[in-house]
Amino acid sequence: MIRSLLFAAVFAALSCWLPPAGDAAESPSATLPRAKIPVILDTDIGDDIDDTWALALLLKSPELDIKLVVSDRGDTVYRAKIIAKLLEIAGRSDIPVGIGVNEGGNAGPQAPWVADYDLASYPGTVHPDGVAALIETIMTAPQPITLICIGPVPNIRAALERQPKIANRARFIGMHGSVRKGYDGGPEPSKEWNVVADAKAAQAAFTAAWPMLITPLDTCGIVRLRGDKYQRVAECSDPLTKAVIENYRIWSKAGDKPLNASSVLFDTVAIYLAFSTDLVTIERLPLRVTDDGFTRIDPQGKPIDCAMSWKDLAAFEDFLVARLTGGR
């Protein structure tokens, strides 16, 4: 009873949690080391390449304590192979991998990178039922878990059906939707892929009891590294960063052709939001996921914190480069 009351108090505090502005040196509590934030990543890595960049950013973010990475949507075994191989390269096979709901279908454009990779060779734990692992991790955690979702969310729909109480023990951070702007900063909202690919699952996630913070296309849809910023990442010798670029070259079918920019790095913004909102403007908006995959502002919708614009996009790009190249 006492434990559950304590948990409720911690969760209530976290529900309205936003990191303080400024760095630790300016904080009166600067002498106290900040506890790492426990996170689960749910990802459709293996379709668009931005998940690969996002997982690398996650692994290079000391603010976050990764409890589990779960593959979501379509061929989740193919996706779990990419996760496991990247974790091995990063020297982080202590992190469990979960295979999400397997909907079948074809492997994606990074298949050549994992053609010879055997999941059974992963030195750490691979959970064949990734949804069960996700539920177990959230329900047994001593403090609320931050669930970062960067793809369509059939796993999350399944998890909420199996154990609705997860919504009282986690907060949801997602790369989802399109509120006022569409792809590439377009003036009209789009049917954003992570929502429209499984609108029923998005509706489940967007009506659950957890607090939500999302980066819709309004902010994540315009993040791209170009010129010197891209080159610094492309020329970095760090093994994980090299693997990101190797995957990017396979994904883009570049062959020997030089690349001078990244594709849009949507999902990296959701990783950033798990520990900071300093560089974006947050608006709390009532959102409803429509059956045809839009995220509409609707007074009847769930109030959701949305990163609606950048205070300093160049600073975010610099932050991404610094993290991926090992600097600060």
Interface residue list for Ca ion (CB under 5 A): 44, 51, 150-151, 267
Nearer to Ca ion, 53 or 294 (CB): 53
Nearer to Ca ion, 151 or 182 (CB): 151
Distance in Å, CB of 327 to Ca ion, minimum: 26
280 bridge partner residues: 310
Nearer to Ca ion, 75 or 267 (CB): 267
Nearer to Ca ion, 44 or 75 (CB): 44
Task: For 257-270, give one letter per residue: b (16+ CB within 10 A) or e.
Answer: eeeeebbbbbbbbb
Pairs from 178-182 (Cβ < 8 Å, separation ≥ 24): 178/216, 178/217, 178/218, 178/221, 178/294, 178/295, 179/216, 179/217, 179/218, 179/285, 179/287, 179/295, 179/297, 179/306, 179/308, 180/218, 180/308, 181/216, 181/217, 181/218, 181/221, 182/217, 182/221
Nearer to Ca ion, 52 or 203 (CB): 52
C-alpha–C-alpha distance, residues 164 and 124, integer Å:
28
Burial (Cβ within 10 Å: 0-12, 13-18, ≥19) of residue 48 = buried
Distances (CA, A) of 86 to 90, 119, 130, 293, 303: 6, 12, 18, 31, 35
Nearer to Ca ion, 151 or 189 (CB): 151
Distance in Å, CB of 51 to Ca ion, minimum: 4
Nearer to Ca ion, 74 or 151 (CB): 151
Distance in Å, CB of 267 to Ca ion, minimum: 5
Distance in Å, CB of 155 to Ca ion, minimum: 13
C-alpha–C-alpha distance, residues 15 and 172, integer Å:
10
> Which amino acid is present at 178?
S
Distance in Å, CB of 152 to Ca ion, minimum: 8
Distance in Å, CB of 264 to Ca ion, minimum: 11
C-alpha–C-alpha distance, residues 192 and 301, integer Å:
18
